[in-house]
Amino acid sequence: MSEISTLAIAPDVVVLKIDRVEKRNALSRAMLNSLMTEFRAAEHSGVRALIFWGNGQCFSAGADFHDLCGDASDMEYDNLMRQLVLAIQQSTMTCIAAIDGPCMGAGLDLALACDVRVASLHAKFALPAVKMGILYNPERAVEIMGLLGNLTERLLLLGETVSIEETVGTRLVTHKEYVKNSAFDMAVALAKASAELPEEAQIITKKFIRESDKHPNTYWMQLREKLLVSEERRQIIQRKKGVM
């Protein structure tokens, strides 16, 4: 059985399943490469929304320590992780993490790269780099501190594990699933709804959320004006008029 597999939920919605239950879905270098390959394949096939999900009530316990040497060669793992994060950030797909149980280290890095994070009651989060005797990847740390909010010191400096209740007031979790044991069903519902939204407007909005500080306001206004006169928007307005 493959440790990374793709499940088609709808014509334009897929799930990338992490399935290494016996290792709590720890991410090896081979798995990171497989995730990238499957991610690119989904992107090229026109998928609108993609869900990352860990089988066995565990999103991911983080990096596979059998793939780490404890020396500078471990930068290769960082580089693979960085490539996957950038692919998610730059993709036109809406990416959703369905988080059950532990979501730690590289697993949390993967989840934080996504646009939406759905977590169940039993989700818990950690970034234990300092416990491993290293500084968390500085480039990535700068990006995620805004998401961690008041948990920054607890997660990065102290290496603590926090519960879903403790994420209130941060952007670490966007949706909470308290009713069921798994976040998967809510993630699927969100993915299907996302895939039905106007595509170009959603792509530009994702870009704005990610890069609003990288371009002047005139750049974003030009994109907005492009959408204002688009054929898709004209049809939407006409449909709305028809039901009034």
The predicted pLDDT at position 217 comes to 97
Q: Is 11 left (phi over 0), alpha (psi -120 to 50) or beta?
A: alpha
On whether both 191 and 203 belong to a single domain, the answer is no
The residue among 195, 210, 230 that closes a domain is 195
Tokens of 210: 């990610």
Q: Of 111 and 68, which is predicted with more confidence?
A: 111
> How far are the Cα atoms of 85, 112, 116, 155, 234 from residue 89, in angstroms, in the given order?
6, 10, 12, 22, 29
On whether both 143 and 120 belong to a single domain, the answer is yes
Of 17-21, 76-80, 193-197, which gets the smallest average pLDDT? 76-80
On whether both 105 and 203 belong to a single domain, the answer is no
In tens, the pLDDT along 202-214 reads: 999 999 999 999 9
Domain of 97: which CATH number? Answer: 3.90.226.10
243 has pLDDT over 70:
no
On whether both 47 and 91 belong to a single domain, the answer is yes
On whether both 170 and 237 belong to a single domain, the answer is no
CA 191 to chain centre: 12
Pairwise CA distance, residues 186 & 118, whole Å: 7
In tens, the pLDDT along 84-124 reads: 999 999 999 999 999 999 999 999 999 999 999 999 999 99
Q: Which amino acid is at 138?
A: P
- Could you give phi then psi for residue 116, rounded to 5 degrees? -135, 140
Tokens of 117: 């994070």
On whether both 84 and 151 belong to a single domain, the answer is yes
Range of the domain at 22: 4-195
Pairwise CA distance, residues 183 & 208, whole Å: 27
The stretch 185-196 carries a mean pLDDT of: 97
On whether both 203 and 173 belong to a single domain, the answer is no
The residue among 164, 179, 195 that closes a domain is 195
CA distance from start to end of the chain: 53
132 has pLDDT over 70:
yes
